[in-house]
Every structure is written in C-alpha cells, then in structure tokens.
Amino acid sequence: MVYVKNLPVWERIMRLGVAAAVAAYGLIELGGRWGWVAVAGGAGLALTAVFAFCPACALAGRRLANHDRNEPRPPRP
C-alpha cells in the first residue's frame, strides 16, 4: 500500500510537541494504567508526525495542497 503524506510540516512539529507533553504527563502525573494509556496515545501521535501520515485524516480525504494532482491514485481494493 502506498501512503501519501497528508500532514504539513508545521502540523508535524506541533504533533511531536503535544505527543511529548502527553507522554510526560502520563508518566509524571498520572502513573498506573492511565499513565501508560497516555504514553501509548502520545506514542501514536508521535508516529503520525514522524511518518507524516495520519490515518484519520486519510479517511476524511485530506491531502496536502502542494500535492501533484496529475499523479494517479493507488487502486482501491
């Protein structure tokens, strides 16, 4: 499957910052099960920033504005 980047650079930077804050809050303040849930959520958010691809945004049909419109889309299953 081909993943087309759907996150701009500024949003990727913001996601990394929020992911670090959520994970730190989970480890420092919450602790226990909810702390690990917060860490997992922060890790998921960080992964979307690193790969520049958000599955929820892709489901909504979001694309980058500078994406080449002449490029063929991958075939649907």
C-alpha 63/C-alpha 77 separation (Å) is 20
Q: Which tokens go with 56?
A: 């929820």
Q: Are the beta carbons of 33 and 53 closer than 8 angstroms?
A: no
Query: In the predicted model, is pLDDT for residue 38 greater than 60?
Result: yes
C-alpha 26/C-alpha 40 separation (Å) is 9
pLDDT of the residue at 39:
93
> Whole-model pTM?
0.70
Per-residue pLDDT tens over the stretch 12-26 = 999 999 999 999 999
Which among 30, 72, 34 is positioned nearest to 4, based on CA atoms? 72
Reported as type and span, the H/E element at residue 51 is: helix 32-51
Per-residue pLDDT tens over the stretch 53-71 = 888 888 887 777 765 555 5
